[in-house]
Amino acid sequence: MSERQHDDTDQLIADFLGTDQEPAPGNHRSGYVAVVGKPNVGKSTLVNALVGHKVAIISPKPQTTRRRILGILTRPDAQVLFLDTPGVHEPQQALHRYMMREVDAALRDCDAVLFVTDVSRLPGDEDRRVAERIARLSQPRLLAMNKADLLDPRDVVEHVAAHEALIAQASRTDTGATGSAPRAPGAESREAVEPVSSIFNAQLSILTSGTRGDNLDKLLSMLLATLPHGPRYFPPGQTTDQNERLLAAEFVREQALRFLEQEVPHGIAVTIEDWQPRPNGTIYIAATVYVERESQKGILIGKGGDMLKKIGANARREIERELGARVYLELWAKVRRDWRRDDAMVARFLEGNA
Ligand code: GDP
Ligand code: MG
């Protein structure tokens, strides 16, 4: 897509949303975009691809992302602050409640919402629950129908219609007769005209592939146009708000998710115990990998320590790439029984490295 077309699209969308009218310093735009959706649709993959840096860990297993993760994209004309979030699901234990509070906080703080679905399948109840959640918001909402690379050509028409209906439905509830939904100040003007809301939602959806990179430039122009004018909040080199220790712990957890099966990986928590730059330039890192049961500890360690070694070797490579330094990574296995059911332990594990 040429720059010229970008401008046209931006202008069109900006006119539509009325975001262009605010006086602002120059033409710079900035704001928070909450990335929400059910587990495993590719939210973190999209955020990494848009930011151009690995800020969130990825896995084929659901519930990989546990906290709000900030991914920062800086361009000459804009700074987009993506809030990657845990997948929306029914909270069953303390960990899940924590995760859903993280989603709510992201939605509360954001300037725009990017709703992500898996278009290779028909939407289900989980997607509808997310749609209902964001229907109550006053911020602009965009729909990324992701995993388009897996979409069977014979399903395109049916699936796209079904996914777009999610958000059109959401907008109808939003402007419907009940009218009891909370509104942010200044949002009334945008929502007073009912047809605009549904047209706006219908138009602002796009087929994407986070893994292949399809349509990410278009998605970004659409997002930029919804953001208010505002300053650059973070220095250009910064891509996330997570410190190196937190990223290192996440990279260890990513490899645990990769190699462990069934319930074991979901009960993993990683804490960094020691971090020592050595005179020869190597960084010594010691981390504890927690599981919930004694039996899981055996699986985590593996025969002759093989499993823990494999997790450690793969995580070390990721950490080295991130830090640009040689790393000596030592992993310890420990049991913290049923920590996911304990609010205090959940907070300790999820916030401990931050
Ligand atoms: P999240 O739970 O929504 O954050 O999903 P992740 O980003 O962790 O991705 C879940 C799984 O889907 C991983 O195995 C990804 O590699 C895969 N995935 C993500 N986006 C795409 C996509 O556009 N196409 C395909 N084929 N796979 C994807
Ligand atoms: Mg994720």
Q: According to the model, what pLDDT value does residue 204 have?
A: 87
Nearest C-alpha to atom 24 of ligand 1 is from which residue? 147
Q: According to the model, what pLDDT value does residue 327 have?
A: 98
In contact, 96 and 89? CB cutoff 8 Å: yes
Q: According to the model, what pLDDT value does residue 230 have?
A: 94
Give the number of whichever ligand sits closest to the CA of residue 127. Answer: 1
List pLDDT tens digits, range 161-182.
999 999 876 555 444 333 333 3
Which H or E element spans position 77?
none
List pLDDT tens digits, range 252-270.
999 999 999 988 999 999 9
User: Residue 195 above 80 pLDDT?
Assistant: no
Q: How far is it, in rounded angstroms, from Cα 116 to Cα 157?
A: 18
Range with lowest mean pLDDT among 163-167, 173-177, 236-240, 316-320: 173-177
Q: According to the model, what pLDDT value does residue 169 have?
A: 60
Q: How far is it, in rounded angstroms, from Cα 62 to Cα 88?
A: 10
What does the CA dihedral 334, 340, 345, 347 come to, rounded to 10 degrees? Answer: 130
In contact, 223 and 114? CB cutoff 8 Å: yes
Range with lowest mean pLDDT among 177-191, 192-206, 213-227: 177-191
**Given its phi and psi angles, is residue 203 left (phi above 0), alpha (psi -120 to 50 degrees) or beta?**
alpha
> What residue has token string 């809301």?
197
Q: According to the model, what pLDDT value does residue 25 have?
A: 56
Q: What is the mean pLDDT of residues 42-63?
A: 95
Q: How far is it, in rounded angstroms, from Cα 206 to Cα 164?
A: 9
Indicate the top mutation candidate among 96, 163, 211 to test ligand 1's pocket, ranked by most ligand atoms within 8 A of CB: 211
Greater pLDDT, 129 or 353:
129
User: Residue 47 above 60 pLDDT?
Assistant: yes
> What residue has token string 């605010």?
22
Cβ(63) to ligand 1 under 6 A?
A: no
**Distance from the alpha carbon of residue 100 to the mean position of ligand 1, in angstroms:** 20
Q: According to the model, what pLDDT value does residue 253 have?
A: 97
List pLDDT tens digits, range 89-131.
888 899 999 999 999 999 998 999 999 999 999 999 999 999 9
Q: According to the model, what pLDDT value does residue 202 have?
A: 41
Q: According to the model, what pLDDT value does residue 178 have?
A: 37
Cβ(48) to ligand 1 under 6 A?
A: no
User: Residue 206 above 60 pLDDT?
Assistant: yes
